[in-house]
Chains A and B, each alone.
Chain A
Amino acid sequence: MTKKILKQKGFIIGLAIVIFFILIAVFAPYIAPNNPLEMNISCKLQKPSSQYWLGTDNLGRCIASRIIWGARSTLLYSMTVLTAIVIVSIPIGLISGYVGGRTDAVIMRVIDIIMAIPSFMLVLAVAGTLGASARNMIIAMSSVWWAGYARIIRGMAIEVKQKDFILALKSAGCSHVKIITKHIFKNIAEPIIVLATLELGSIILAIASFSFIGLGAQPPTPEWGIMISDSKDYIQSQPQLMIYPGIAIIITVIGFNMLGEGLKNAFGRKLYE
């Protein structure tokens, strides 16, 4: 298995990008050359220099430091959303798939309703009523995105449930709870990890987009989406202000996608057996 994973160049590159991203996020205070919030109007819109690695923005803040701290908030937000999604969707999906019948029908209809709401609309509604903030964006995103997950997990649970060994486990005296937690969950854990990795890329992208339109994290938080949004007035004179955070988003998303694809290929035989 390990050999199969390490043979893939895409996986290695993805893993390197993701590790690099996580290290930067974790050690941001030590890596960043300047305070990301410190404004220095006298040296605004500067070219890259030894003090400002990537120059400064329209308020004289260090772009490099803001991107480095932005990695931290991106990692925090995306991981929170992912954890919330996974914690909610796994038990619901497992129960829906394993119990079946009326329980399954009810849960699936609820999921259908939730999936019919675009997450964008819900974030807009939550921002309108509770105010736009990173916390509200996370709540709104998690409350919509778990549904799709739960549906996928339900499908996998149904598939495992129909296998012969479940009947053998019943014959062996396992309770339903034990079958679900010890056996079905273990059987679908690998595909869930792959899915989560692949999903992290789109979560990061969504967080950046919500911040860009002003529904997510609020300025002056160093966040990639906000940075692009803040610098949109300078797109003609100082395009680098948008390009740097844009590149950061692209590389991170591609990194997670490559990692996820690599895992999918490595587990592939098991996933689609």
Chain B
Amino acid sequence: MPALIKALQVSKQFEKNELFVKNKLVTAVNNISLEIEKGKTIGLIGESGSGKSTFGRMLCGLENVTEGEIYFKENSITNLTLKKMKPYRKNIQMIFQSSSTIFDTFYTIGESLEEILLNNETISKAESNLRINKILEQVGLSKEYRNRYAYQLSGGEKQRVNIARALVINPEFVVCDEPVSSLDFTIRKQILNLLNNLKNNMGLTYLFITHDLSTIQYVCDSVVIMYKGKIVEYMDDISQLGKIAMHPYTSILLQSIPTTNPLNKKICMMEEKQSNLFIKKSVKGCIFADRCPQKEEKCLNKEPDLREVASGHKIACCVY
């Protein structure tokens, strides 16, 4: 099956202009290749600053790519201008991370949604009205919300409208950038259920960006673990997560999930050395070496490639 969206060796570097120091480059995303098949949900996991949001934005054409190519259905959508990207926007949408800041506070929810619809489709006003009512209903809001402003909504309602924003034009591929991280646990489950239902009803494909391992098993089929802009582990089957051999970073992530059973609670987390979170491009060897508990001599010299250790399970580590 051909991939719906494909990233080929994508890198992103940000220029950091400091006084007297010119063009200091910060690598946010480092040589990532990823294929997403239609109908599948991939969870992209990493700590903050690991470049996962940047990668998501690049897939949506909202951020320029420094190196590499991005294909949507075999068409290259790398670094297109706003105008040229427009035909693809209809099919590639994003659920943004902070639902409180993504609405222009001068427009009501209805006006915002209508603008999106009329931008991307040639439909009449009456038809767009129906579509807006329908999507609001689908995300579990009554149509009275159309006349509200974003600041009049609660956190959970905003997140629902945020989802409605992305899905109102029936996209095929949706990047969910930490859709539940700002919500409390009861609403979190509602939103995840909602995303699952919408996926089944509308035939969506998600890239689910999160830093929280506890939520992904709920929605994702496959999982990608990112660290400092690189993929360190890829697992085709999410149910295997934590069961089969894995990257040391993944195990640290798994151990950091608080347990729900008080009898199993750990007095303290695994001790970790403070590491330098900035990515240095010139560093030789494994990017995780300075934090790795299983580090060996060879880790410091050789940069590990992402290779397949079992069917559908890729890992970038010298030890395995």
| B96 proximal to A (CB < 8 A) | yes
Chain A residues with CB under 8 Å of B115's CB are 172, 174, 182
Chain B residues with CB under 8 Å of A9's CB are none
How far, in Å, is B259 (CB) from chain A's closest CB?
A: 35
Chain B residues with CB under 8 Å of A42's CB are none
Chain A stretch 173-196: residues in CB contact (< 8 A) with chain B: 173-176, 178, 182-183, 186-187
Binds B, one of A19-27, A89-97, A163-171, A238-246: A163-171
By beta carbon, the residue of chain A nearest B89 is A173
Establish whether residues B104 and A171, one from each chain, have CB atoms under 8 Å apart when the complex forms: no
Consensus secondary structure, chain B interface: mixed
The 0/1 profile, CB within 8 Å of B marked 1, for residues 219-247 of chain A is 00000000000000000000000000000
Establish whether residues A165 and B116, one from each chain, have CB atoms under 8 Å apart when the complex forms: no
Establish whether residues A164 and B98, one from each chain, have CB atoms under 8 Å apart when the complex forms: yes
Which of A173, A175, A178 has the most chain B CB atoms inside 10 A of its CB?
A: A173
Establish whether residues A165 and B104, one from each chain, have CB atoms under 8 Å apart when the complex forms: yes
Contact with B102, one of A168, A173, A182 (Cβ below 8 angstroms): A168
Establish whether residues A172 and B86, one from each chain, have CB atoms under 8 Å apart when the complex forms: no
Establish whether residues B103 and A165, one from each chain, have CB atoms under 8 Å apart when the complex forms: yes
By beta carbon, the residue of chain A nearest B87 is A173
| B93 proximal to A (CB < 8 A) | yes
Establish whether residues B119 and A174, one from each chain, have CB atoms under 8 Å apart when the complex forms: yes
Which of A167, A168, A187 has the most chain B CB atoms inside 10 A of its CB?
A: A168
Contact with A172, one of B98, B101, B119 (Cβ below 8 angstroms): B119
| B22 proximal to A (CB < 8 A) | no
A187 to B107, CA, bound (A): 10
Contact with B62, one of A170, A183, A186 (Cβ below 8 angstroms): A170
The number of A-B residue pairs with CB atoms under 8 Å apart is 55
A176 to B96, CA, bound (A): 20
Contact with A171, one of B94, B101, B105 (Cβ below 8 angstroms): B94
Chain A stretch 186-222: residues in CB contact (< 8 A) with chain B: 186-187
Contact with A170, one of B82, B105, B166 (Cβ below 8 angstroms): B82
Establish whether residues B165 and A175, one from each chain, have CB atoms under 8 Å apart when the complex forms: no
Establish whether residues B62 and A171, one from each chain, have CB atoms under 8 Å apart when the complex forms: yes
How far, in Å, is A175 (CB) from chain B's closest CB?
A: 6
Chain B stretch 104-127: residues in CB contact (< 8 A) with chain A: 104-106, 115-116, 119-120
Contact with B104, one of A170, A173, A183 (Cβ below 8 angstroms): A183
The 0/1 profile, CB within 8 Å of B marked 1, for residues 126-152 of chain A is 000000000000000000000000000
Chain A residues with CB under 8 Å of B102's CB are 164-165, 167-168
A173 to B165, CA, bound (A): 12
Establish whether residues A175 and B98, one from each chain, have CB atoms under 8 Å apart when the complex forms: no
Establish whether residues A186 and B116, one from each chain, have CB atoms under 8 Å apart when the complex forms: no
A176 to B62, CA, bound (A): 13
By beta carbon, the residue of chain B nearest A184 is B104
A187 to B116, CA, bound (A): 19
A186 to B82, CA, bound (A): 21
Chain B stretch 63-114: residues in CB contact (< 8 A) with chain A: 82-83, 86, 89-90, 93-94, 96, 98, 101-106
Known: A172-B116, A172-B119, A175-B83. A186 touches B104 (CB 8 A): yes
How far, in Å, is A180 (CB) from chain B's closest CB?
A: 12
Chain B residues with CB under 8 Å of A164's CB are 96, 98, 101-102
By beta carbon, the residue of chain A nearest B103 is A165
Chain A residues with CB under 8 Å of B94's CB are 168, 171
By beta carbon, the residue of chain B nearest A169 is B104
How far, in Å, is B244 (CB) from chain A's closest CB?
A: 37
Known: A164-B101, A164-B102, A168-B102. A173 touches B120 (CB 8 A): yes
Establish whether residues B93 and A171, one from each chain, have CB atoms under 8 Å apart when the complex forms: yes
Establish whether residues B62 and A167, one from each chain, have CB atoms under 8 Å apart when the complex forms: yes
Chain B residues with CB under 8 Å of A182's CB are 115
Establish whether residues A167 and B96, one from each chain, have CB atoms under 8 Å apart when the complex forms: yes
Which of B86, B90, B102, B119 has the most chain A CB atoms inside 10 A of its CB?
A: B102
Chain B stretch 128-184: residues in CB contact (< 8 A) with chain A: 165-166
Which of A170, A172, A176, A186 has the most chain B CB atoms inside 10 A of its CB?
A: A172
By beta carbon, the residue of chain B nearest A164 is B101
A168 to B94, CA, bound (A): 8
Establish whether residues B101 and A175, one from each chain, have CB atoms under 8 Å apart when the complex forms: no
By beta carbon, the residue of chain B nearest A173 is B119
By beta carbon, the residue of chain B nearest A176 is B82
Establish whether residues B62 and A187, one from each chain, have CB atoms under 8 Å apart when the complex forms: no
Known: A186-B106, A187-B104, A187-B106. A171 touches B82 (CB 8 A): no
Chain A stretch 66-113: residues in CB contact (< 8 A) with chain B: none
By beta carbon, the residue of chain A nearest B86 is A173
A172 to B115, CA, bound (A): 8
Establish whether residues A168 and B82, one from each chain, have CB atoms under 8 Å apart when the complex forms: no
Establish whether residues B90 and A173, one from each chain, have CB atoms under 8 Å apart when the complex forms: yes
Give 15 pairs: A residue, B residue, CB < 8 Å, sorted on A. A163-B101, A165-B102, A167-B62, A168-B96, A168-B103, A169-B104, A170-B82, A171-B62, A172-B120, A173-B90, A173-B119, A175-B83, A175-B86, A187-B104, A187-B106
Give residues in B with beta carbon < 8 Å to A: 57, 60, 62, 82-83, 86, 89-90, 93-94, 96, 98, 101-106, 115-116, 119-120, 165-166
Q: Which 3 A-B pairs have the closest CB atoms?
A: A173-B119, A164-B101, A168-B102
